Amino acid sequence: MELYLDTADLEEIREIAAWGVLGGVTTNPTLVAKVFSAKGERLTEERLSAHLKAICELAGGPVSAEVTALEAQAMVEEGRRLAALHPHIVVKLPTTEEGLKACRALSAEGIRVNMTLIFSANQALLAARAGASYVSPFLGRVDDISWDGGELLREIVEMIQVQDLPVRVIAASIRHPRHVTEAALLGADIATMPHAVFKALLKHPLTDLGLKRFMEDWEKVKP
């Protein structure tokens, strides 16, 4: 399973990329707005384009960039502009009627599409049939409504395998390290997570304690 960072923050991407484990990045309008708001900058088309290109260069792999249009033809036009920015760009579309139309049109042009906001296996099936390269079920948000995000992921992965659909599954809305473990065990192709969760994957108190003891013992005998 590949590990993606769910962010638009260049410093976060730079840090995790240096570990040598980053497979790609996913973004959305909320994450982009957060970055520009923190900098006190007004978002313009030019600034957004430059920022997405910078993300692509740091990520070294697929970068999902989401459209903000709601009507199919406008989604297609925006998706074309995004895809033209960098070879790593994957156009991210909402799983709606208009999104499916746009997905079919863009995928027919050879543009990779990530269908997002998926909360059922049927939505994933529709997205796959519309030509999506990726489907993104939201584990955490399903958990939030007292259902089982892991069960949703299991159904989607199994369905794709049984139907032999040419689409990759991105486990999204990852809230904690256990979600990552579950996604890997259930057969997700990719898990995308916030910076804090990515950092938490590495942390364990016994690792810290073991290293501390090793260094203390070494200090006693080192030349």
Exactly one of 34, 92, 101, 203 is catalytic; which is it? 92
Count Cβ neighbours within 10 Å for each residue of 164-186 and write b for 16 or more, e otherwise: ebebbbbbbbbbbbebbebbeeb
Active site residue 92: yes
Residue 209 — φ and ψ, nearest 5°? -65, -40
Are 25 and 59 in contact by the 8 Å Cβ rule? The answer is yes
Number of helices (H), then strands (E), in the chain? 11, 8
Tokens of residue 141, six digits:
């948000």
Residue type, 79: G
175-179 CB contacts, 8 Å cutoff, 24+ apart = 175/139, 175/140, 175/143, 176/200, 177/201, 179/139, 179/140, 179/149
Cα–Cα distance between 138 and 136 in angstroms, integer? Answer: 6
Catalytic residue positions, numbered = 92
